[in-house]
Amino acid sequence: MRILIIEDEERLRRVIELHLSAEQHDVVGAATAEAALGQLENVDLVLTDLKMPGMDGLTLLEKIHKESPQLPVIVMTAFGNVETAVEAMKRGAADFLQKPFSLAHLSTVVGKALEMRRLKVENERLRQELETRSGFGNLIGHSAGMREVFRLIEKVAPSRATVLLCGESGVGKDMVARAIHYHSPRRTQPLVKINCGALPENLMESELFGYEKGAFTGATVAKPGKFEQADQGTVFLDEIGDVPLPVQVKLLRVLQEREFERLGSNRTRKLDVRVVAATNVDLRAALEGGRFREDLYYRLNVMPINIPPLRERLEDVPALAGHFLERFGEGRYRFSVAALEKLLGHRWPGNVRELENVIERSVLLASGELLGAEDIRLEMGPRGRAGGGEGLFLPAGMTLDEYEQSILREALKRASGNKSQAARLLGITRNALRYRLSQMGLEDKEGEG
């Protein structure tokens, strides 16, 4: 394993380097944090001094965490400087060494951190393997709605039946599509996803069905389309409602006859694919508006699976939230009852994806390992706003105090910490802002400005 050592005092750095090299580690050294940042690739462990000319160790720690959150960092602190060591641990350091330390102690601390690293990498590998093998294991939910989804997945997976997944954005359609593929006999064959909404009309046809050399200007070599790539496997047509009418005709033919031609060719090709399509719009409305072909609709709608929005299965929220907390917080955090109540009070217009984002942000900004209601940072955009359209109101689950706090923080952030400017943004005086901040105990944390 590769260890990066950052220490401005050359002699000490050399001693550490020699010692760890002698223990069969691959060791690289840097005299400054700036130099170290360019050397992070393939590194398994970082050992850094805290006080250095230029960027200090705490700042470096933060940068490393941003870039490679899984990379363990051990900090070396001067004797008697307990507070910085504590601060470093709070900010995610794996361990600390107080100078002067013995080489034996160095070996122990480094060995422990590397062992943790090895376990984490191994865990991640197993998790990914499991996920690609089953794709089911990560689908969480025990609400009646989700149990019905699971039942249908199991039922349709073994066959070649076309499946239409319907549900709002962020409910988990991608995940369900993968679960179907990985539970089907086609699991060892390709699963090819086509995002119909992202493709401009003129590109879609060549993307789906491929083309021959010379089919159009720029077609210098022949290229197979996504359907061909997915032969024997599954095609996942995402946002099927966005397919333009001319392409719909060709899709219909693939679904009906399992045949197609590449652009610029009249050779008919046969193929064996299973089609899973997804939509977050009501296709029936598109039918009536003449934007979707009726015959294609009925072909697709053989086996519809509706994935209910999260607000209609709030009982899934705790398990999902716990799952994301485990993932983003690496098992270090817990929810308080108040935090869970706040999560349950929200309407989740962005569904599971929104919940995932909220938990990720909450972990990033958490003040401690037990998350309180104030640590749950709900989305504040127009989509996250609560209330049934009766004008301006608090985001669901937030108290007035929490809301005020988040507005004050945001104003300070926008003003880069400058209180006079933040006060202007809020339309209050600087003194009024200071008073509110001190009332909330935010005064010293935000610093002077």
Interaction partner, residue 175 (Mg ion, ligand ATP, none; CB < 5-8 Å by kind):
ligand ATP
CB of residue 308 to ligand ATP, shortest distance in Å: 11
What is the rounded CA–CA span in Å between residue 55 and residue 33?
6
CA-wise closest residue to 268 among 286, 250, 280 = 250
Contacting Mg ion within 139-178 (CB under 5 A): 173-174
Q: Which is nearer to ligand ATP, 241 or 372 (CB)?
A: 241
Please give the helix or strand (H or E) that residue 150 lies within, else none.
helix 144-156
CB of residue 290 to ligand ATP, shortest distance in Å: 24
Interaction partner, residue 31 (ligand ATP, Mg ion, none; CB < 5-8 Å by kind):
none
CB of residue 239 to Mg ion, shortest distance in Å: 8
Q: Where are the beta strands (DSSP E) in 196-270?
A: 210-211, 223-224, 234-238, 259-260, 269-270
Tokens 């090299």 locate to 21
Interaction partner, residue 280 (ligand ATP, Mg ion, none; CB < 5-8 Å by kind):
ligand ATP
Indicate the residue type of 235. Answer: V
Q: Which is nearer to ligand ATP, 174 or 410 (CB)?
A: 174
CB of residue 128 to ligand ATP, shortest distance in Å: 13
Residue 335 tokens, joined = 């929810």
- Lateral strand order in the sheet of 274-279: 191-195, 234-238, 274-279, 163-166, 303-306
Q: Which is nearer to ligand ATP, 60 or 176 (CB)?
A: 176
Residue 229 tokens, joined = 């790539």
Residue number, nearest CB to ligand ATP: 172
Q: Which is nearer to ligand ATP, 34 or 174 (CB)?
A: 174
CB of residue 178 to ligand ATP, shortest distance in Å: 8
CB of residue 182 to Mg ion, shortest distance in Å: 16
Angle at 47 between CA 46 and CA 50, to 5 degrees: 120
Q: Which is nearer to ligand ATP, 196 or 423 (CB)?
A: 196
Please give the residue ranges that form the binding site for ligand ATP (CB under 6 A): 138-141, 167, 169-175, 280, 320, 352-353, 356
What is the rounded CA–CA span in Å between residue 59 and residue 364?
16
Indicate the residue type of 246. Answer: P
CB of residue 424 to ligand ATP, shortest distance in Å: 38
Q: Which is nearer to Mg ion, 305 or 412 (CB)?
A: 305
Structure letter (DSSP) for residue 395 = P
Interaction partner, residue 409 (ligand ATP, Mg ion, none; CB < 5-8 Å by kind):
none
Q: Which is nearer to ligand ATP, 6 or 363 (CB)?
A: 363
Q: Which string of DSSP letters, residue by residue, matches 2-62?
A: EEEEE-SSHHHHHHHHHHHHHTT-EEEEESSHHHHHTT-TT--EEEEESS-SSS-HHHHHH
Tokens 């060791």 locate to 27
> Using CB under 5 A as the criterion, which residues of the chain lie in contact with Mg ion when the complex forms?
173-174
